[in-house]
Amino acid sequence: MTEPHVPDDAARPEPDARPGPAAAHAGLAPSTVVVAAGRPDRAQGAPVNPPVVLSSTYVSQGVQQPGELLYARIDTETWHPFEEALGALEGADRPAVAFSSGMAAIAAVFSFVPAGGTVVVPRHAYQVTLGFADDLAARAGVRVVRVDVADTDQVVAALDGASLLLLESPTNPMLEVADLPALLAAARERGVLTAVDNTFATPLGQRPLAHGADLVVHSVTKYLAGHSDVVLGAVVASTDELAQRVRAHRTLHGAIPGPFEVWLALRGLRTLALRVERAQATAAELARRLADHPDVVEVRHPSLPDDPGHERAARLMDGFGAILGVRPRGGAAGADAVVAAVRLWVPATSLGGVESSLERRRRFATESLTVPEDLLRLSVGIEDVEDLWRDLDQALRGAAG
């Protein structure tokens, strides 16, 4: 790996002697960590919530001292509570690094791939992630190998000579589940850097660092913020060296989040456990009913006993997630008719908000060609399950009729 150039003003102040995020909350359940982490120090009259600081620069003269803030492109105290909370949730010994978007975070991960290197990616993944990999291939001679992450032998065979293994599990939108411990171990044996996009599962569903991942990526826009009102990303690193390089990339490329966005993300994070618990339970019930629906050809959700990812998800994950893949009768036209007929479900892209949404993924020309034309990706929110079911049922029956 080539070291990125770091400008003189990109150094982050040395951390203080306090324990890392995970150690500071050791012994607490994740559902408690989402509430407790990232709070101000307790003192008489102190605020319960961290403040938003709106300043682009800080008073500074002479040589910057450890712990001093200098300029808000490098660091600002408004980022710290969210970064500490996410680091604690992922079981990291250091804070996360917040970015302006999920793709800015993905770009930071891809920055570890040298010109002419090889990156192994899922054949099904977020379409813009795959587009970024293809862009690297075109402008930097990077070799991109797409694999079925559910086929462990296929992934391992692709690792020889690779610079980076980037995984999604479950994948977007096909919900394939990878054997993370096996794949991450195989990559480590071969000296391949590993990153896991944990957006779908969230840290409540799995913690890739515990399985040996080098980096964990989040589109904070989705479940972590949870209210469809923030665009944000984050990277969590397994070592100080990796964290410093990720942070240097953010500083050098200016991929920084705004203070209000980070504050809103932390506010949304406080209810993550409640939202995910409700959404997962509803998703599993909807999957069960949809599997018997006369106007549905196929349902994908790891909670279903006959789903290809069920055994692996039951063994490796805490919960099955709140994303469904549904193929209604009538092909792509039938799927479009369902989207047009729903009244409670929101026809929209993105996912992970409190509202339930759906879309036909192949409406995007850039979606993987192996994704079925008629596949609907459903993001289950926190509404009443019976209301969601009635709306979906009438749309399916109306589209088929």
Say yes or no: 44 and 148 in one domain.
yes
Choice among 75, 94, 126, 374 that is catalytic:
126
Return phi, psi of residue 167, to 5°: -115, 150
Say yes or no: 17 and 38 in one domain.
yes
For residue 128, the model assigns a pLDDT of: 97
Long-range contacts of 239-245 (CB under 8 A, 24+ apart): 239/214, 240/94, 242/214, 242/215, 243/94, 243/95, 243/97, 244/12, 245/3, 245/4, 245/112
Domain boundary among 269, 288, 312: 269
3 assigned to some structural domain: no
Among residues 136, 181, 187, the alpha carbon closest in space to that of 166 is found at: 187
In angstroms, the CA 205 to CA 70 distance is 37
Choice among 94, 207, 222, 300 that is catalytic:
222
For residue 13, the model assigns a pLDDT of: 43
Say yes or no: 287 and 328 in one domain.
yes
Q: For the domain that residue 389 is a member of, what is the CATH number?
A: 3.90.1150.10
Our answer to whether residue 222 is catalytic in this structure is yes
Cβ-based neighbours of 248, under 8 Å, separated by 6 or more: 4, 6, 10
For residue 20, the model assigns a pLDDT of: 87
Say yes or no: 327 and 259 in one domain.
no
Among residues 215, 272, 263, 221, the alpha carbon closest in space to that of 77 is found at: 263
Say yes or no: 218 and 75 in one domain.
yes
2 assigned to some structural domain: no
For residue 1, the model assigns a pLDDT of: 40
Say yes or no: 390 and 243 in one domain.
no
Choice among 12, 39, 73, 288 that is catalytic:
73
Say yes or no: 194 and 331 in one domain.
no
For residue 18, the model assigns a pLDDT of: 59
Our answer to whether residue 188 is catalytic in this structure is no
Low-confidence ranges of the chain (pLDDT < 50): 1-17
Distances (CA, A) of 391 to 120, 286, 304, 342, 357: 40, 12, 22, 6, 12
Domain boundary among 269, 297, 327: 269
- Give residue 123's domain range: 8-269
- Number of alpha carbons in the 13 Å side-chain half-sphere of residue 305: 0
Our answer to whether residue 214 is catalytic in this structure is no
Q: Buried b vs exposed e over 64-89: b needs ≥16 C-beta within 10 Å?
A: beeeebbbbbbbbebbbbbbbbbbbb
